[in-house]
Structures are given as C-alpha cells and as structure tokens.
Chains A and B, each alone.
Chain A
Amino acid sequence: MHPLDRPRTEQEMWHDRHPGRRYGGRRPGGRTRTPGEPMEPLPPDHDAAATNAVITGATRWAAISRFRQAGDLPGPEGGPLSSRGVDTGSAPIFLVMRRMRTPLIVLIIIFGITTVGLALAPGETDEGEPHRMGLFNAFYVMSYTASTIGFGEIPFPFTAEQRLWMTASIYLTVVGWAYAIGTLLSLLQDRGFRTALDMRRFTGRVARLRDPFLLIAGYGHTGQRLGRAWDQLGRSFVAVDVQPTQIESLDVDQYFADPPGLTADASNPFNLKLAGLKNPNCQAVLALTDNDDVNLAITMSAALLRPDLPVIARTISAPVEDRMLAWGTPTVINPFDRFGDHLRMALRAPASFRLYSWLEAGPGSEQPPPMSPPAEGLWIVCGYGRFGQEIVGDLLAEGLDVVVIEPDPPSDEFLAAELDRPVEELPRVIHGEGSEPEVMDEARIEHAVGFVAGTDDDTTNLSLIAAARRRNPDLYVAARQNLPTNQSLFTAMHLDMLLVPADIVAREAYARLSTPLLWRFLEEMPQRGEQEALDLIQRIKHRCGQYMKDVWNVELDAWQAPALAGYLDPDAVSSRTRQRRGIPDGRRIPLTIGDLFRDPDDREERLPVVPLMLLRDGEATIAPPDATELRLDDELLVAGTRVAQRELQTTLLSEGTAQYVVTGTRMPESWIWRQLAGRRLPQ
C-alpha cells in the first residue's frame, strides 16, 4: 500500500517531530475560528477537483484499503467494540471462568474452614493419648468426604469432637459441591454458552479451510440448490443465514463434505468476516437472501473488505440493482428480468435457448424438448406487478400483441415510465379476475396463442392456467411459481415454460462460477445462429446421451498439460525431452482437437467428449471442428462423461499416453525399457 501523494500538513509534520505528544498543547491563545471558516487554512495551490479525484478515481481502492487495514467496522450486535476485533476462540473459557467464580469461591471457603477445623479438633490415639490430625490428614479426609467417595476414620477412630465437626462438614461440603456442579450444568445448557461454543467451532473450521470455497450468504432455497450442486462438484462452501432452520438443514441434508454454517445476520460485516470473507481461499461471495436490503449490505461489505472478490447478488428491484452496481462490479441477478430475457431468446432463437437452458441446468439435466413459443399472435398476461411488467415489456419489444388482465393495475403514467413507452403504445388492460369467464371472453382467449400466469400467488396461477386451458387447449403456457414447495403441482400441469425465481438465480450463479469458460460460452453462443446450436445439441446427444454430463475446462499450457506441451509448441520443452519423445528437431507434429480426444486405450476410438468452445488469445470459437490445430496456451470448454474426463487427464499428464494418442507409437514407460528401445530403434 502506498501513501497518497499529497502535501503533508503542518500538523502531520509536527507529529513527526514530537511523537506521542498532543498537537497545539501550548499554542498561544488569541485567534478563534469564526463560524463557517475552514478548520485549517487551505494551501494556496489547493485544487478541490484533484483532491476528489484522489478519492474517487483509480486510487479509490487504495484509499479504501487504508481503512480496511486500520481496523474493522464494529457491528450493531455481537460485534467487537475494540478496533482489533474480538477473539472468539477463547470466549467459552472466559465464560466458564466468569460464571464459575462464585461457586468456586464458596467451595474453597468451605474446604478451608472444614479442613482447618478437623485438623484442630482434639482426637486420641488407640492408646488414648491426645493427638491432632494435622492439616494433611484433615485435607485428605475432607476430600473423600466431600466427594462422597467413601467414609473412614483415619489415622485413629474419631473422638466425639471430631465426629461433631465431621457431621457439620459433610453437609457443608455437599452443599458446596452441589452448588458448583449445578452451576456448571446449567452453564452447559445456557444458550449463550452454546452459541459461543458453536461460534468457536465454526470459526475454527472456516479458518482450517484450505480449498477455495464460496461464501453463501442467505441459505434459503436458492442457496441450498446452489450449495448442493456445488457439493456435488466436490467443492466447499460456507453458509450464513439468519434463520436457524436453514443452517440446521446443513446437518440434516446429505452432503459429501461437511459444510460449515453460521446462524447470524449476514448484513453485519463482522459475521461475514467470521464466515471467511477475509480468508484468502474465499472464491466468491453470493448474496442470496430474500431481503434486498440485506443483499445490498452484503454486496457493500464485500466490495469494501475484499474488492478483489467476485460478488453475485440477487434482487427483484431495479433501484436496488442500480445501488448494488455502484459498488464495484457485482453480478446482479434479477430473476424476473432474466426470465424475460429467456422468453425473448426462446421466441427469437428456440434452438439456442434449448442449448442454453440445457447447459445452464447443470450435470444430470435432461435435454429440453424441442418447442418454441409462438412468435406472432396475441399473448395474455395475468398479473401486472413487477414480474408482469418485465414480461410485458419483453413481449412488446418482440412486436407481439399483448393483453393484460389485472384487478388492480398501476396508473398509466407509472407504467409508461416503467416500460419506457408512450402511453398510446401501452397494452390494453382488462380490470378483473382472470378466472372469470367474462374477463376471458373480453381478452379473446380463443384467439390467443400465449398465456402467462404471473401473479404472486401460486393457487391463483394454477387456477388461471386451468381456466385458460379449458377455453383454449392449444395455448403456449408460461407460469410463475412463487413457492418452491409447490414444485410437484406445477410439474403436473406440464407447462411450456416455468419461472422459479430461486432456480433461475441458482442456475445462473452456478453457470457463472462452476466452470470459468461456461458463462462466456452461454453469452456468445446465441449470436452464432440456430443451425449451429442445433448441430451442437445433436453432437452432445450423439456422444453423451440424453442427459447432460460434466462440463469442464481443458487448459493446454505447460503446467496443466505437460505431456502435450512438446507437440503444441516444440520450443516449450528442452531438446533432450524432445529427443526422448522421438520428436526430431525443427519438425512439428501437429495436434488437432480430433487427436486430443482419441481414446488412450484404442486411438481409433473417440472419447465421449464434445468441444464446445476454443479460447485462443482471448478470441472464442464456438464449436470448433475436429480438424482445428491446437496451440500452446489454448483453452477448451468441453462437455463429456466423468470417465472421459479422467482419460483425457492421462493424455494431458502421461508422456507415454500422449505419444500413443498423437502419433500412434507406444513409448516405453520405464527407464530400462526406454534404454533397450533406444538401442533397438534408430533415432
């Protein structure tokens, strides 16, 4: 971190000369500041614009990171009051110490009195001579009496005085022990103590995470879907949610790993830091709570505390989206907006949309059926809330006729501003319930081609669909499912297109995070035309089957593909290695995509792998043909089975396999065989 280049004030220079002293302590009195006058006289060459540029310009993060280094923000609850933050690790120990203070003191006093009393009580030996027990023997007797391990009279049978004292002691010590043990047990039941213990366990586990992990703030339906998919990939994540039930689902549900979860308010930066925001292995932050304000707060904390981290935030409100985008470059996912985009893509390029949704749905998803929404005709949209407005705007932009049914629509001026259209071009709005026959008649349901059930109530949506289908069975039906628990009902309706906000966010976050190139492919692919998308769907289906298998990156650099580096670029390996591999100097054996995907067991066979995209020098080629020649530092995005992924890995790593796959000759693997072969075969 570099200090900002600005002139040092007189006060700062004074502090340099007199460390640790108070500035202006012996300042001669006299001039007082008049109201409105600046606190310090500005330097003569002061340039306000330049000063602001220092803070808002390129060095803004440097300025912000100074605050980050200086300390962390205290939280509204549970946060540390000191600037250094609180050490949560030792909290349970101190809690036990503080709570056990009184019982322990009572126990010590009781022990002290009873022991000294017994030591002083007159006793006698077997012979009848007077004897005092002594402190050590008294302490020994008291110890076993108090803990009721046993009873005996040592070293000689007690006298009446001693027994009198013992009787009192027994009751006293039992009270002391009962008090101490009772306090300890109630402490273990105490909620504060258990929270402290849980917190300690959680922070310990987060600190021990050595693999890259996701920080999922908000572990509702979206977070759980994403978390499960992430777990399936064998990667780790940390979950934070304010609801204890959501975090408890981490223990109940089936996960390969044991993901740590914290029940806390994620809008508090202190809790985010506990969850590993500052951990160098943190890969991305996801703000997926139901509350837009909380998501905004998470985006803000992540941008301030870790500006280098990618942030994915969910929101359903456009103003909040704008406010989020003011903080660095977060990816903001608005499910309604995205659904409108998907609908437009489906209208314009059905095959591209099929491929898009197949890949986005992740491994194991079935190929979507070939179907496209009717691209001309009348569409009826029920519900004119935030979702309805997004959909209507997208349908109008595609040049379709739209009729809206809504009992209580917003004003025309509001809609005109929201949809960014003149009032005359707004769609016709029918005031009424969509399930009523007269309203359906008025909307001319018999002549409609598409129907969108988009209210915020699932029961209403289902009954709307049922009513519309009865009147016009050929309708293309799209619906909004609000509660994930109603999944089975909507599945039974066999809808053409379904919006589940939780799913849309989870899928897009997955596509953006799981494989670095996948999102780039999904962005570029729709522009390549329908035929190319159809071909790709056919090729994936032909090689890998009806269900989507894994999608992963193949990086052909010297580090990830050492066995192939010599073929990709002869200068990348030493001449000795080249000789050992039988590659003559100066001659390059070309390696094509088709060669790379040969089966290491039988090179005439082809691995069940489809290349989706080739990235070379930042330039992407969608669906590269098999004859494409590969070069060093190329990146490939491929889809295929997990077995094929492992086979491909051998080709990348093992020299012998690579030589066989590329040239067809088998190279001896061991040193002895290589020597023998080297003698036999002319180089």
Chain B
Amino acid sequence: MNLEKVIFGFFVLLAATLNFGFFIGDISNSELHSEYELYAAVVVSLITTVLKFGDRTQIGAVHLATSLVADLQLGTAAIVWVYADYVSSSGLDAHAMASIVSLSGGALLANLVSVVLLVIETVSFHRR
C-alpha cells in the first residue's frame, strides 16, 4: 500500500462525491443545493488538481486535463452564484440556480472521468 496513492484516490473520489452531492436535487430549487457544499467541492477539486501536477505519463496528463475542466466548471458555477446573489437585481432565482447546477453537472462528468481513469490505473497496475 502506498500512502501517496491513498491520498490521491481519496481526493479524487471526494471531489466526485461532493460534486455529486451538490448536483443532486431539483435543478432550479435553490433550497436543495447548499452553497457550502459547492464551496467544499471547489476546494477539494483544486487540491485534486495540484495533486495531479508533475505526473508526466499519458494517463497523468488526461487526469490533469479532467481536473482542470472540473475546476473551470465549478469555478464558473461559484462566480455565477456570487453574481446572482450580490450583483444581479433579480437575485438567486430559478434561472440562476439552474445554470449553477448544470455547470456543476458538467464538472461532475469530468470528475466521473477522473474516477474512471483512477480505476483504469489501478487495474492496469495489477497487470504489471
């Protein structure tokens, strides 16, 4: 067992689960989506990205790419939230909430790819 692999797997999975937890629920109902959960998803996603830095293998490069996509989507979702909450005159309405949740849905897809890659890596590790 490798502690580095444990930490890596932990964060990759945590990013996906937090993202999923935020995403699930009626897309336009703001009461079903917690801002703290989104915040946690962004932070964990950033940590995952940095953990993937410096791996020069092909699978490492795809890992990093998926993480960057997740960061981009989650970051955009957070910015849309802040804009709707503090700047926009209409406030955090159903339209804003739908776009936030759908952005996090995109990030969820990227995170799922990341998890799939992790599984592939683990399986192929045993082959060698």
Contact = CB atoms under 8 A, between A and B. Distances in A.
Contacts of A101: 50-51, 53-54
A414 interface: no
A136 interface: yes
B43 A112 contact: yes
Interface in A178-202: none
On chain B, which size bracket covers the interface?
10 to 19
B46 A100 contact: no
Nearest to A98: B54
Interface residues of A, number: 19
A116 interface: yes
A94 B56 contact: yes
Contacts of B121: none
Given A94-B56, A108-B43, A112-B43, A135 B50 contact: no
Given A135-B36, A135-B39, A136-B82, A105 B47 contact: yes
A466 interface: no
B85 A105 contact: no
The interface residues of chain A, by DSSP majority, are classed as helix
B93 interface: no
Given A109-B47, A116-B39, A94 B54 contact: yes
Contacts of B125: none
A134 B51 CA distance: 28
Contact of B50 (A95, A104, A119): A104
Interface in A87-140: 94-95, 97-101, 104-105, 108-109, 111-112, 115-116, 119, 134-136
A475 B44 CA distance: 89
A11 B24 CA distance: 57
Nearest to B42: A112
B105 to A, nearest CB: 20
Interface string B83-109: 001100000000000000000000000
A135 B51 contact: no
A95 B55 CA distance: 10
Nearest to A138: B39
A136 B92 CA distance: 14
Nearest to A120: B36
Interface string B30-73: 00000110011001001100110110100000000000000000
Contact of A108 (B39, B46, B53, B85): B46
Contacts of B53: 97-98, 100-101, 104
A138 to B, nearest CB: 9
A342 B39 CA distance: 84
A95 B56 CA distance: 10
Contacts of B46: 108
23 contacts: A94-B54, A94-B56, A97-B53, A98-B54, A101-B50, A101-B54, A104-B50, A105-B47, A105-B50, A105-B51, A108-B43, A108-B47, A108-B50, A109-B47, A112-B39, A112-B40, A112-B43, A116-B36, A116-B40, A119-B36, A134-B35, A135-B36, A136-B81
8 tightest CB-CB pairs across the interface, nearest first?
A98-B54, A97-B53, A112-B43, A97-B54, A136-B82, A104-B50, A101-B53, A108-B46
Given A101-B51, A108-B47, A112-B43, 12 more contacts: A94-B54, A97-B54, A100-B50, A101-B50, A101-B53, A104-B50, A105-B47, A108-B46, A109-B47, A116-B39, A134-B85, A136-B81
